[in-house]
Structure 1
Amino acid sequence: MIPNVRKAYNQQFTDDRYQAFLEGIAQDAGIAPDFRVAETPVFVPADLTSKLIQACEEIVNVILRPDFKSITEDAIPADLKVPHENDHPHFIVIDFAVCQNETGDAYSPRLIELQGFPTMYAFQDVMARQFKNHFAIPEQLSNFFNGIDEKTYYQLLREMIVGNLPAEEVVLLEIKPEEQKTRIDFASTEKYIGIRTVCLTQLIQEGKKLFYMRDGVKTPIQRIFNRIIFDDLQKQSGHLEPHVNLFQDLDVEWITHPNWFYRISKYTMPFIHSEFVPKSWFLHELPVVPADLENYVLKPLFSFAGQGVVIDVTQQDIDNIKDPENWILQRKVTYAPAIQTPTGPAICEIRMMYIWPDSSPRPILIHNLSRISKGKMIGVGFNNTDTWVGGSCCFFEFA
């Protein structure tokens, strides 16, 4: 999206460099990624950088509303509420489509989704660093925000996740982590944050306290860095080995508390009014079905990774929904063919990644993630047969 940088990058690209880049990622993380990593980062021009930051801060202002908890109380399914919710999420990610503005002469972000959940924080800087190691990325572009660099980035994450606790008493918790596509992030978290990854089925409960076996020693757990999607846990629960019931009153601290995954989600979108946020309605509150349904997308509130989304909406799709309170109808966005690649133009989404320390009055933007695609759906699970697509990161130009 920065023409001279894009041209220079495409000219320097070779398959050998790309393979060396992938090998650098695997060597750094200790394992290879289980998803396709794109051949290129995204180069974001200063104008779009400013719009992305503005859009994010407008969304953050909604999350900071004094009544935010009350207006999102119904976001948490009754059977998925976890005790001891704290005052705010420690992680927020906000996903935007890169589109063209109304006059077609500049790029503009459009909100796609947001989550109160810590996705890929440790791995994203591994990827960015390997891009810088294997390709000539202009020094004036940065993958960080707010004066952060490689050293302070992981320091901030450690302070958020571990704090003053012994690192062995903080665990990254997931269901069958060795089977997850994001397991490279778990490996990077272990390396750079210094905590172990633990499967739910490995937890030991004694009264309200939790423990796990660490190198043969029963070790207390004071804090959980949570990577479990709880509606996914509910679906899998009957097929798992015996495990601790996480919905009970436990003497443990959550980073981020599971309830925030639902409060800050597609459920939040109808409350956000911004030029960068497509108009959205809860389906059961829709005043009238739009005549141009082809310009809308239908999204289930409780799903992840693009599951259940209806791209080409019809009246029949709406009529078939038996639980309209669990769906939103959102104005469709048109992705711009913003990335010129040797195998044709590609579209992309940009994820802006925040942390929210307890000492901070508002969340702090620190890093990013990108997904590049040449098809209708964006995500590392789609378009596996294409090249110059997949998971990536951005390097931003600042005014």
Structure 2
Amino acid sequence: MIPAIRQQFNQRFTEEAYQAYLKDLANVYPGQLDFRVAETPVFVPKDFTQKMLDACEAILNEVNTDEYRRESDRAIPTNVNVPGQDDHPHCIAFDFGVCQNEAGELEPQLIEMQGFPSLFAWEAVLPEIYEKHFWCPDGFSSYLNGYDKKTYIGLLKKVIIGDTPVENVILLEIFPEGQKTRIDFSATEDLLGVKAVCLTDLIQEGKDLYYLRDGVKTKIERIYNRLIFDDLFQQSPEVQEKGKLMLQDLNVTWVPHPNWFYRLSKFTLPFINHPYVPYTKFLNEVKELPDDLGNYVVKPLFSFAGQGVIIDVTKEQIENITDKENWIIQRKVKYADAIATPDGPAKAEIRLFYFWEPGKKKFMAAQNLSRLSKGKMIGVRYNKDKSWVGGSFCLFEK
């Protein structure tokens, strides 16, 4: 995105360095890296970063109100409404596409937001290994607002662990050893001391939960939640039955509370009027479909990883949707061919990690990840057999 920097990086790049980089990454947590890592970070100029931060600030001001909380009550499906929700999520991730406006200029466009964790720990590891193998220009950092690796890990500890003894904190998932993002679970245990625990291994005694830590029955006081109900409902009846304990009033603190997965999500976008948020409406509130349907995308509210998204929309497809209140229609954005690579340009998405640090009473941006694509959509399934695509991170101009 910064032509001079991009040119220098590409000129210095070698396949040998990339393969050495991948080997180092694979050896950090052996057997855990299960997605493609791109050949390059995204170099982000100051003005573009500021545009994203300004957009996030405007969105946070809109959703951090009693009015929005009331409106978003209906975002939570009744069959997954978990008791004991707190006043705000512990974290929010904002996904921006690097897009091109009508004047041909690069600008961010919000694609999604989620009140749910991302690869928070892994993205503290990735840039450090990158720097061992590739040229890194002066005056750039993967961190925001003055954070560095040490203070960022300290922030994660405050948010995820708090004042609770670390042995009483778990990362909750369904069969974590089989998840694509399991490398982040390994990084979380390594950097924070918090172990990943499968839902099926929880021990319930009344309102209390326990797990076996090194063979010792240990009480759970705080749950770093990585479990998504949509994933739970794809499991066997026995696992789904076990999952019903999440709907009970338990003696635990959720980080973040599962309800925020629904409250801050695609559901939020129709409430936001901002230049960097594409026009979005709930499908059931659209009285007349636009004539240029090809310029829109239709998305289910309650899915993840791009599942169920209709890219090439037709009236027939919309008419066949029976629960239109659970879908949004969104004007397509034009992803820019912003990243020059040796075998053709790549598109990029940038995810900013925001956290609510205890005692600060405000969300702050701290870290990021990026994803590069040459396919129809961002994501592994759309970029098979392509190079200079996959997961990465941004280096922000200071």
Q: TM-score range by the shorter chain?
A: over 0.9
The question of whether the paired residues in 2 share the 8 Å contact of 1:202 and 1:243 is answered with no
Aligned to 1:164: 163
Structure 2: runs of 5 or more not aligned: none
Matched AA of 2:216: V
Between the aligned partners of 2:189 and 2:129, the Cα distance in structure 1 is: 18
Aligned to 2:311: 311
Q: What per-residue deviation string (whole Å, max 9, x for no partner) do you get for residues 86-116 of structure 1?
A: 0100010010110112211x21001111100
Aligned to 2:396: 396
Aligned to 1:149: 148
Between the aligned partners of 1:369 and 1:237, the Cα distance in structure 2 is: 33
Matched AA of 2:17: R
Matched AA of 1:204: I
Q: Which secondary structure does the structure 2 equivalent of 1:154 belong to?
A: helix
Q: Which secondary structure does the structure 1 equivalent of 2:370 belong to?
A: strand
Q: Which secondary structure does the structure 2 equivalent of 1:10 belong to?
A: helix
More displaced stretch, 222-231 vs 130-139 = 130-139
Query: Residues 71-82 of structure 1: matches in 2 within 5 Å?
Result: 71-82=71-82
TM-aligned CA deviation for residue 32 of structure 1:
4.2
Between the aligned partners of 1:39 and 1:168, the Cα distance in structure 2 is: 37
TM-aligned CA deviation for residue 382 of structure 1:
2.9
Q: What per-residue deviation string (whole Å, max 9, x for no partner) do you get for residues 199-242 of structure 1?
A: 00000011110000111110000000000002321332515387
Aligned to 1:55: 55
Between the aligned partners of 1:52 and 1:246, the Cα distance in structure 2 is: 35
The question of whether the paired residues in 1 share the 8 Å contact of 2:175 and 2:198 is answered with yes
The question of whether the paired residues in 1 share the 8 Å contact of 2:158 and 2:358 is answered with no
TM-aligned CA deviation for residue 328 of structure 1:
0.3
Q: What per-residue deviation string (whole Å, max 9, x for no partner) do you get for residues 40-81 of structure 1?
A: 111111221111111111111112123221010110000000
Aligned to 1:283: 283
TM-aligned CA deviation for residue 302 of structure 1:
0.5
Aligned to 1:9: 9
Matched, 1:180 2:168: no
More displaced stretch, 255-264 vs 372-381 = 372-381
More displaced stretch, 357-366 vs 330-339 = 357-366
Aligned to 1:357: 357
Q: What per-residue deviation string (whole Å, max 9, x for no partner) do you get for residues 358-383 of structure 1?
A: 32222110011111000101013431
Between the aligned partners of 1:360 and 1:30, the Cα distance in structure 2 is: 37
Aligned to 2:34: 34
More displaced stretch, 148-157 vs 373-382 = 373-382
Aligned to 1:223: 222
Aligned to 2:116: 117
Matched, 1:343 2:332: no
Between the aligned partners of 2:152 and 2:132, the Cα distance in structure 1 is: 18
Structure 1 residue ranges (4+ consecutive) displaced by more than 4 angstroms after TM superposition = none
The question of whether the paired residues in 2 share the 8 Å contact of 1:201 and 1:242 is answered with no
Aligned to 1:236: 235
Structure 1: runs of 5 or more not aligned: none
Matched, 1:213 2:212: yes
More displaced stretch, 201-210 vs 378-387 = 378-387
Aligned to 1:272: 272
Q: Which secondary structure does the structure 2 equivalent of 1:341 belong to?
A: coil
Cα distance, 1:165–1:144 mapped onto 2, change above 3 Å? same
Q: What per-residue deviation string (whole Å, max 9, x for no partner) do you get for residues 288-309 of structure 1?
A: 2101000000000000000000
| TM-score normalised to structure 1 length | 0.97
TM-aligned CA deviation for residue 138 of structure 1:
1.1
Q: Which secondary structure does the structure 1 equivalent of 2:346 belong to?
A: strand
| TM-score normalised to structure 2 length | 0.97
Q: Which secondary structure does the structure 2 equivalent of 1:121 belong to?
A: coil
The question of whether the paired residues in 2 share the 8 Å contact of 1:177 and 1:183 is answered with yes
Between the aligned partners of 1:381 and 1:184, the Cα distance in structure 2 is: 19
The question of whether the paired residues in 1 share the 8 Å contact of 2:100 and 2:106 is answered with yes
Q: Which secondary structure does the structure 2 equivalent of 1:17 belong to?
A: helix
The root-mean-square deviation of aligned C-alpha atoms, in Å, is: 1.3
Matched AA of 2:19: Q
Q: Percent identity at matched positions?
A: 54
Between the aligned partners of 1:332 and 1:263, the Cα distance in structure 2 is: 23
TM-aligned CA deviation for residue 325 of structure 1:
0.3
Matched AA of 2:300: P
Cα distance, 1:100–1:258 mapped onto 2, change above 3 Å? same
More displaced stretch, 132-141 vs 326-335 = 132-141
Aligned to 1:328: 328
The question of whether the paired residues in 2 share the 8 Å contact of 1:80 and 1:231 is answered with no
Cα distance, 1:67–1:358 mapped onto 2, change above 3 Å? farther
Q: What per-residue deviation string (whole Å, max 9, x for no partner) do you get for residues 153-211 of structure 1?
A: 10110111111111110000000000000000000000001111100000001111000
The question of whether the paired residues in 2 share the 8 Å contact of 1:346 and 1:372 is answered with yes
Cα distance, 1:218–1:24 mapped onto 2, change above 3 Å? same
Matched AA of 1:37: V
Cα distance, 1:31–1:355 mapped onto 2, change above 3 Å? farther
Matched AA of 1:183: R
Aligned to 1:297: 297
Q: What per-residue deviation string (whole Å, max 9, x for no partner) do you get for residues 267-324 of structure 1?
A: 0000011000011000011132101000000000000000000001111111110000
Between the aligned partners of 2:24 and 2:60, the Cα distance in structure 1 is: 35
Between the aligned partners of 2:358 and 2:163, the Cα distance in structure 1 is: 13
Q: Which secondary structure does the structure 2 equivalent of 1:337 belong to?
A: coil
Q: Which secondary structure does the structure 2 equivalent of 1:344 belong to?
A: coil
The question of whether the paired residues in 2 share the 8 Å contact of 1:31 and 1:187 is answered with no
Between the aligned partners of 2:384 and 2:391, the Cα distance in structure 1 is: 11
Between the aligned partners of 1:241 and 1:333, the Cα distance in structure 2 is: 37
The question of whether the paired residues in 1 share the 8 Å contact of 2:92 and 2:113 is answered with yes
Between the aligned partners of 2:292 and 2:241, the Cα distance in structure 1 is: 49
